[in-house]
């Protein structure tokens, strides 16, 4: 099978390219570093003939710096995906694996002792400023326990990146309905691992912590470090892409987009991640700062059950081994 892989030179895209080639896929690479922009319809028209499927990893990532980033996120993620989908329709390419993100959920799911499963709204700045980080029940104001969020949860994006990742899904779903194509969105949770970019404001939290440690500085952990996330290794993410592509080839769900959480299923706190990286590098202990960002959410705990049942995906790289490797490779 011939596959067009966008974002092929990126952190995740590079690992996906390797995983596809191990399974004997013919990979056509498209990446800005190679002079191919998915917003360039003419370039896509040169690449798509003979292609059987597209794995779309190209995107502007990260929370962003400020509202000045809005146009670039919308252009790279929403407009770029629209140009790609239109080109796929022109060339009759009917299979798509999209790099989605858990950020589309906004705040995760919670259990209230009185009202059961609830989804809190955005946290108030005055609460964050006073160190009250945990969301409260939107019905009774009581304390909540984090619960697993499934793919059926209503989306609630909280920043520009999240809004454009959700827009990608909506555009892909529209493409699938109108063309009869089959699309999968793999909602990555917090991806980390070798070749993760560092020293950029758009990097992930694992990379930010590691950059500080390699410079001899203590990682600075926002809030109180108790934010829960699911950290999934990049090789597991790459394998999920291969499994999703195979599923589309075996029994395509024509005319729809199907979303899957790509996660380890074992949540950790941000503070745990910082401490594990500090231990692996022999660097200084993390410092919790009490700082916060309004675009951040408190807890996002994933349910990977659908991916396990329908794609056969289960994460293989454990947190301790993955973090140790991440640190070891970076130190070399």
pLDDT, one tens digit per residue, over 23-72 is: 999 999 999 888 899 999 999 999 999 999 999 999 998 766 678 889 99
Portion of the chain with pLDDT greater than 70, in percent: 96
Residue 121 belongs to a domain = no
Residue 202 structural domain: 2-108+149-331
Whether 33 maps to a domain, the answer reads: yes
Predicted confidence (pLDDT) per residue in 92-105, tens digit: 999 999 999 999 99
**Stretch 167-191: mean pLDDT, rounded?**
97
127, part of any domain: no
Q: What's the rounded Cα separation, in Å, for the pair 19 and 13?
A: 10
**Span 237-262, mean pLDDT?**
89
* Domains identified in the chain, total number: 1
Q: Is residue 144 part of a domain?
A: no
Q: Which of 221, 226, 272 is nearest to 133 (CA)?
A: 226
Residue 245 lies in a domain: yes
Q: Quote the pTM value.
A: 0.94
In a domain, 143, yes or no: no
19 belongs to a structural domain = yes
The domain that contains 225 carries what CATH number?
3.40.50.720
Distance CA 222, CA 257 (A): 35
Question: Does 256 fall in a domain?
Answer: yes
Q: Round to whole Å and give the CA distance between 60 and 168.
A: 12
Can you spell out the DSSP letters for 81-120? HHHHHHHHHHHT--EEEEEEEGGGG-S-EEEETTTEEE--
């Amino acid at each position: 099978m011939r596959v067009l892989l966008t974002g092929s030179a990126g952190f995740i895209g590079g690992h996906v390219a390797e995983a596809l080639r191990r399974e004997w896929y013919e990979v056509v690479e498209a990446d800005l570093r190679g002079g191919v922009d998915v917003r360039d319809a003419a370039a896509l028209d040169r690449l798509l003939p003979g292609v059987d499927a597209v794995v779309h990893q190209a995107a502007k990532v990260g929370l962003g710096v400020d509202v000045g980033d809005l146009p670039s996120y919308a252009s790279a993620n929403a407009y770029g995906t629209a140009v790609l989908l239109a080109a796929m329709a022109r060339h009759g390419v009917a299979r798509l694996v999209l790099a989605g993100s858990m950020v589309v959920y906004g705040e995760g799911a919670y259990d209230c002792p009185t009202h059961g499963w609830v989804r809190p709204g955005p946290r108030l700045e005055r609460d964050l400023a006073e160190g009250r980080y945990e969301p409260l029940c939107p019905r009774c104001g009581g304390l909540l326990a984090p619960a697993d969020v499934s793919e059926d949860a209503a989306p609630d994006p909280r920043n520009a990146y999240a809004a454009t990742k959700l827009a990608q899904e909506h555009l892909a779903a529209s493409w699938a309905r109108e063309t009869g194509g089959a699309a999968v969105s793999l909602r990555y949770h917090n991806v980390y691992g070798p070749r993760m970019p560092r020293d950029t404001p758009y990097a992930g939290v694992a990379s930010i912590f590691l950059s500080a440690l390699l410079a001899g500085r203590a990682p600075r952990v926002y809030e109180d470090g108790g934010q829960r996330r699911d950290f999934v290794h990049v090789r597991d993410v790459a394998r999920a892409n291969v499994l999703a592509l195979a599923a589309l080839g075996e029994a395509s769900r024509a005319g729809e987009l199907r979303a899957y959480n790509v996660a380890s299923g074992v949540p950790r706190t941000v503070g745990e991640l910082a401490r594990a990286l500090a231990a692996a590098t022999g660097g200084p202990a993390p410092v919790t700062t009490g700082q916060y960002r309004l675009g951040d959410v408190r807890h996002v705990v994933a349910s990977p059950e659908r991916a396990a049942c329908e794609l056969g995906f289960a994460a293989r790289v454990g947190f301790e081994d993955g973090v140790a490797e991440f640190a070891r490779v970076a130190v070399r």
